[in-house]
A and B are shown apart, each in its own frame.
Chain A
Amino acid sequence: MTDPVRNHGVSDLADAYKAGTITRRTFIVRMLAMGLSVGAAGAILAACSDSATSAPSASATMAPGTAAPGATDAGGAACAPLDPNVEAEMRFLTGPFTDREMEVQETIAAAFNKTYPNVKFSFKLFDWYTSPTDIQTSLVDGAHDLYYLGEADALLFGSEDANFLDIGPLVNDPCFAEEKAKYAAIERLWRLTPKPTALPFLWFQENGLFVNMDKVKAAGFDETFVESWDTFVACLAKMTDPAKDEFGIALAAHPWVEWYGRLRSAGGSYLNADGTAPNVNTPDVIKATQDMVDLFLKDKSSAPLGKYDYTTGQDAFAGGKIAVLGMDSSFAASMMKRDVTFEWAMKAWPPGPVSRATVLNTGSYAIGKKTPAPQVAWEVLKFWTSGEQAAYYAGTASCYPSNEDAFKPDFGYDELVAPQLRAVLPELQQYGVWMEEFAEFGLIANRVNPQIERAYTGEISAEEAIKNAEAITKEVMEF
């Protein structure tokens, strides 16, 4: 027999929910408090959603394999709990930040499985260099459910409506408002794509400087040596010893972000403010590029391009052959594991002709549109980007978590991360610049980079390289 009192309560609740006087979260919480099972609460919620399209946060609780979570007229199922016994397979396509990538991902998966034991996980790692194609082919096949997107990939793929689920209705659901507020730079991330498709996961310094402070001090400088280009150059020169094959600085084989940082510090950018023309070929940009060329060819304080690649450059820095290494911040994780005897620090590049700029990158996760289990994927997405998991991942990868909850002492971010990473944070907050927000950014950057390298190797002049960079920008943007 049904309980008339309880029935009456549910009815009142449903009326209140349909009238929009309570949020969906409150509606669910009260139903669960009344003793309803999760399944029953979900069914009532779904029934209410059908008849209450004007409710502020109504949603359908969908079984896996139905439409996207955000596809209902009334919004998403942002906070609706899943059936703990839900069965699904979640396939990740992500990039490796450290050599422990699989182990770290599996640890997060195991934590998720404590609540949802029947959700299986698999992880495929793409190569950073070929990530656009790996992601593209996976999206065509619907081979994965969750995708890690670096900023260039978010720009490239987010512009196609067919690629990722629109999670706007879910994230903007009032029940999720409190959580949403914790994601740093979420609004900026969403500006990269026509529709909100991803939740920010972490961010990091793309063109960091790893500095051997012992060498800097031995050269008669202190940590302020990066505060002007002149002291930077002077310090690098003093730390260079050709007889010992030791260099003041070295860049990885394809140092496109280093130059992009110089471009921004010279007041330049690939596109002008309204996106109608290149903003590359200016006297300040040529000067900033020439300054870099001089490090290689005139001062010879930089290891010649091609001498060290991404891996061997790291080894040479740890081995004391390079005083300053241009590298992304994830190298800090590797440095923590190495038994180095010198004091090291992380810095932003010195000022350019116009300003000081260091390039930042945001990593996010998005749900593939072809996922057969969108609701589970949403739950996984929330979990992965939650404070606790982001703290663990970003800590082991030497990045900064995007979820502010991650900095809570309970989650142990400070214990995992290198102290140098925390120390450089104020500099990044002061001088950090993001990549420009247009889909072809990565395409232009990848084509411009070899031209800049040609200048660094002396094959062409800085002026020619900048002229080529502008020509590439025009060609790609079809100006």
Chain B
Amino acid sequence: MATTTAVPSRARSEHRARLTPEEHRRLRFRRQLRRNLTGWAFVAPVGVFFVTFLLIPVVGVFWWSTRTGNLIGESKFVGLKNLQQVVGSFEAPTVLLNTIMFALMSVPVIIVVAILLALMLGRVKRGAAVYRFFIYFPVLVPGVVVGLIWTFVTHPDFGLFNTILRSAGQDPVNWLSAGTALPIVAAADIWRNVGYWAIFFLAALIGLPRELYEAAHLDGANAFQRFRHVTLPGIRRIGLLAIVMATIWALQVFDIILILTQGGPGTATTTAVYFVWYYAFGLGRIGISAAISVVLLVVILLMTVSYLRLLREPKRS
């Protein structure tokens, strides 16, 4: 087939006119193919990573959830037995309750405090960047380091909290006891994540039209009314995203627990992902661990869909 590039530009239109419909089709097909191949070539590296590090492991989790045995030696297909064992184990209700309690303690506080921080940051005229940095700083700290920081903060003898209590004449508290360990882990999670969402909310606040506030002011709305009827609807979409994402992250909390409490005392801080880790790495039971992961995946998917449905924009007539 003659190549179009060989045709001088001045004669190109004339040359095109001489192409048969079949040649036109083939030419279009080749151009389309080249464009597609170029696109796929750009996407390929990400695709390889996606398949290797996400798709295959996820498929592997589903595969392992139906098998017994471990990485060495033979594994045996057991169908849904692992899932039944997970759901039927008497640790399951405790783990589920701990996970939900953790999310309930962590997510609402993160959202509320993040909005408050964003409102305050929005009003700062001088040195806003410095404040933003300090509020965002905990986000940059790895989870393991957060765990270590809070280990020192809650240390029974020379931790920050008990030092403050002692200096105020109060008795020291066992912060990581069965009753207080989960709230302490939630506090560490809030400390770590609130800055992230504060910056998100700040971005949303900055993007709100000033005219709306001026109009509300002229209409006699007070500060709370302006917040209730202008600010909140304006950041609704970011808020929705924040609730969904913060909840998913809360359900996946792991690193802080591993460092701070190792799931204890007893099962006081054993949450779902810690349970997954414990079965896989502490007990060497890959099948059960994978089955817990599958249950968690389904729960997160259902919760996400429910959230999205509940907080969906009402249809306008």
Residues of chain A having any CB pair with chain B under 8 Å:
129-130, 132-133, 136-137, 139-140, 156-157, 160, 162-163, 245, 253-254, 303-308, 312, 315-316, 319, 321, 442-443, 446-447, 450-451, 453-454, 456-459, 468, 471, 475
Q: Which one of B70-78, B104-112, B243-251 is at the interface?
A: B70-78
* Contacts A253-B265, A451-B266 supplied; 12 other A-B pairs, CB < 8 Å: A136-B72, A140-B72, A160-B72, A245-B172, A253-B262, A303-B174, A304-B177, A306-B174, A312-B156, A450-B263, A451-B267, A454-B178
CA distance A450 to B89 in the complex (A): 14
The answer, yes or no, to whether B168 is at the interface (CB within 8 Å) is no
CA distance A307 to B91 in the complex (A): 23
The interface residues of chain A lying within 8 Å CB-to-CB of B236 are: none
Cβ B282 vs Cβ A130 within 8 A: yes
- Nearest Cβ distance between residue A325 and chain B, in whole angstroms? 14
The interface residues of chain B lying within 8 Å CB-to-CB of A130 are: 281-282
Count of chain A to chain B residue pairs whose CB atoms are closer than 8 Å in the complex: 106
- Nearest Cβ distance between residue A49 and chain B, in whole angstroms? 31
Within 8 A of A (CB), among B242-290: 261-268, 270, 280-285
Cβ B267 vs Cβ A450 within 8 A: yes
Knowing A133-B281, A136-B284, A307-B174, the reply to whether A254 touches B262 (Cβ < 8 A) is yes
Q: Which of B172, B262, B265 is in CB contact (< 8 Å) with A457?
A: B265
Knowing A307-B156, A468-B90, the reply to whether A132 touches B282 (Cβ < 8 A) is yes
Encoded as 1 (CB less than 8 Å from any A CB) or 0, chain B from 207 to 237 comes to 0000000000000000000000000000000
The interface residues of chain A lying within 8 Å CB-to-CB of B280 are: 133
Cβ A459 vs Cβ B178 within 8 A: yes
- Nearest Cβ distance between residue B214 and chain A, in whole angstroms? 55
CA distance A315 to B181 in the complex (A): 21
The answer, yes or no, to whether B155 is at the interface (CB within 8 Å) is yes
- Nearest Cβ distance between residue B254 and chain A, in whole angstroms? 14
- Nearest Cβ distance between residue B68 and chain A, in whole angstroms? 11
The interface residues of chain A lying within 8 Å CB-to-CB of B156 are: 245, 307-308, 312, 316
Cβ A162 vs Cβ B72 within 8 A: yes
Which among A306, A312, A321, A457 has the greatest number of chain B C-beta atoms within 10 A?
A306
Knowing A160-B72, A307-B176, A316-B157, the reply to whether A457 touches B268 (Cβ < 8 A) is yes
CA distance A129 to B284 in the complex (A): 11
Cβ B177 vs Cβ A454 within 8 A: no
With CB as the reference atom, state the residue of chain B lying closest to A468: B90
Cβ B264 vs Cβ A253 within 8 A: yes
Cβ A140 vs Cβ B71 within 8 A: yes
CA distance A160 to B70 in the complex (A): 11
CA distance A133 to B284 in the complex (A): 6
The interface residues of chain A lying within 8 Å CB-to-CB of B281 are: 130, 132-133
Main SS of the interface on chain B? loop
CA distance A450 to B279 in the complex (A): 13
The interface residues of chain A lying within 8 Å CB-to-CB of B268 are: 306, 457, 459
Cβ B90 vs Cβ A254 within 8 A: no
Cβ B264 vs Cβ A305 within 8 A: yes
CA distance A139 to B284 in the complex (A): 13
CA distance A450 to B91 in the complex (A): 10
Cβ B267 vs Cβ A305 within 8 A: no
- Nearest Cβ distance between residue A251 and chain B, in whole angstroms? 10
Cβ B157 vs Cβ A306 within 8 A: no
- Nearest Cβ distance between residue B111 and chain A, in whole angstroms? 29
Q: Which of A129, A321, A447, A451 is in CB contact (< 8 Å) with B157?
A: A321
Cβ B178 vs Cβ A156 within 8 A: no
The interface residues of chain A lying within 8 Å CB-to-CB of B85 are: 475
- Nearest Cβ distance between residue B171 and chain A, in whole angstroms? 8
Shortest 5 CB-CB distances between A and B: which pairs? A457-B178, A454-B266, A453-B266, A132-B284, A306-B265
- Nearest Cβ distance between residue B293 and chain A, in whole angstroms? 15
Cβ A305 vs Cβ B178 within 8 A: yes
CA distance A442 to B281 in the complex (A): 13
Cβ B174 vs Cβ A446 within 8 A: no
Cβ A471 vs Cβ B90 within 8 A: yes
CA distance A446 to B261 in the complex (A): 15
A-B residue pairs in contact (CB < 8 Å), sample of 6: A130-B282, A136-B284, A140-B71, A305-B177, A305-B266, A306-B181
CA distance A475 to B263 in the complex (A): 21
CA distance A451 to B90 in the complex (A): 10
CA distance A394 to B174 in the complex (A): 36
The interface residues of chain B lying within 8 Å CB-to-CB of A315 are: 157
The interface residues of chain A lying within 8 Å CB-to-CB of B71 are: 136-137, 140
Knowing A245-B172, A306-B181, the reply to whether A132 touches B283 (Cβ < 8 A) is yes
Knowing A446-B282, A446-B283, the reply to whether A139 touches B262 (Cβ < 8 A) is no
The interface residues of chain A lying within 8 Å CB-to-CB of B90 are: 468, 471
Q: Which of B91, B178, B264, B283 is in CB contact (< 8 Å) with A443?
A: B283
